[in-house]
Structure 1
Amino acid sequence: MRRLDLTTAFLAGAIAVLGFAARAEDRYGIGRPATAAEIAGWNIDIGRDGSNLPPGSGSAERGKVVFTEQCAACHGDSGQGGVGDRLVGGQGTLASAKPVRTVGSYWPYASTLFDYIRRAMPQNAPQSLSNEDVYAVAAYVLSLNGIVPADAVLDAKSLAAIKMPNRDGFVSDPRPDVHNR
């Protein structure tokens, strides 16, 4: 789905929820409409172009510390995998019989890495990392994959500017097999 479609769907859903909450409050005497601030708290998606990236920055050096403390138990000391997915390596394997899909070999956008880390990691405490720590972990994982230097510092502008190795390996939008008539 394109960003505009997602925004429209989100707004339509929010309006429906607000309408239902208002009816439930009137009819049953329970609930209340969600406030704009409560709705905004759920609107944390990051566009593939980096739109909606928050302020802040983080270094790969700091990311190594956060990764060791928060991520290595699942993803291994250097992102090689463990109980969690492998994050590093796999470049050049996607066309092989046994492709290795990692951040460095498969993911098309660096902004998606930020979005996923912020939303879902660490698995035992999702959304617990600060924006600075998310930028730092993203910088560290990208540096392990050779996409940014080991001394990289990322922020919204520099993260959005990264061209991932597999950026052109996906079907363009709109997909050629889907036609809106």
Structure 2
Amino acid sequence: MATRSTRALAAAFLLLGAAGAARAAERYGIGRAATPAEIAAWNIDIDREGRKLPPGRGSVAQGRAVFEAHCAACHGAHGEGGIGDPLVGGQGTLATAKPVKTVGSFWPYAPTLFDYIRRAMPMNAPGSLSPDDVYAVSAYILNLNGLVPDGAVLDAPGLAAIRMPNRDGFVADPRPDVGR
């Protein structure tokens, strides 16, 4: 169990931000300030419009192969789920007593699918897929959900152009856009 001083120190780190953490690291002899290169490596967020999608491209066929090698063990051979969540199906269930939240039923923006896969998958090696692999897996998952045809090849403009079925299913944040 954390002591009161440990909790206070953790709260201070959160409040101080990067500059404060650097000063605290010097004072307490723990940690160090992140380098610009380290910050840049994590500054890879992609918004719903697809801004900052990297160069690359991937086809449904390529995605099938990457999915079989890196995703099927958890998500099932065809995205039906297993130890990982289902990625396919659920259309028409969101307003029912037992909604099935999948990429095809719940996910609002295709570029954020790319962002999530790139950052978090595969679970045992997040960030290990190349941009081409992530475009391909995105194309395959979208194809399994009937959102792109079998011959689709996705790149940044193509992915950003996909209109997801639940795009308008979320309540807009009423707060002013800060940081955009």
Same fold flag (TM > 0.5) = yes
Aligned to 1:37: 37
Structure 1 residue 18: deviation in Å? 3.5
SS in structure 2 of the partner of residue 168 of structure 1: coil
Under a length normalisation based on structure 1, what TM-score does the superposition of the two structures give?
Answer: 0.82
1:118-173 deviation per Cα after TM superposition (whole angstroms, max 9, x unaligned): 11111111111111100000000000000011111111111111100110111123
Question: How far apart are 1:33 and its partner, in Å?
Answer: 3.4
1:158 match: secondary structure: helix
Classify 1:95/1:30 alpha carbon distance in 2 versus 1 (closer, same or farther; 3 Å): closer
Change (3 A) 1:165 1:28: closer
Alpha-carbon distance in structure 2 between the residues aligned to 1:34 and 1:71: 32
Q: Give the whole-Å Cα distance in 2 for the aligned partners of 1:78 and 1:48.
A: 26
Does residue 1:69 correspond to 2:85, yes or no? Answer: no
The 8 Å contact of residues 81 and 87 in structure 1, kept in 2 or not, is answered as: yes
Percent identity (aligned): 71
Equivalent position of 1:164 in the other structure? 164
Distance (Å, rounded) in 1 between the aligned partners of 2:139 and 2:45? 19
Aligned to 1:10: none
Secondary structure at the aligned position of 1:169 is classed as coil
| Structure 1 residues 1-16: aligned runs within 5 Å | 16=17
Aligned to 2:113: 113
Residues 26-175 of structure 1 aligned to structure 2 (within 5 Å) = 27=27, 32-174=32-174
* CA separation of 1:74 and 1:24: change in aligned 2, threshold 3 A: closer
Q: CA deviation at 1:22?
A: 4.7
Runs of 4+ in 1 over 6 A off after TM superposition: none
Where does the alignment leave 5 or more consecutive residues of structure 2 unmatched?
A: 1-13, 176-180
CA contact (8 A) 1:136 1:154 kept: yes
Q: Give the conservation status (yes or no) of the 8 Å contact 1:87–1:103.
A: yes
Q: Which amino acid aligns with 2:105?
A: S
> What displacement does 1:37 show?
1.4
CA–CA separation in structure 2 for the residues paired with 1:169 and 1:108: 7
Residue in 2 that maps onto 1:24: 25
| Inter-partner Cα distance in structure 2 for 1:116 and 1:61 | 21
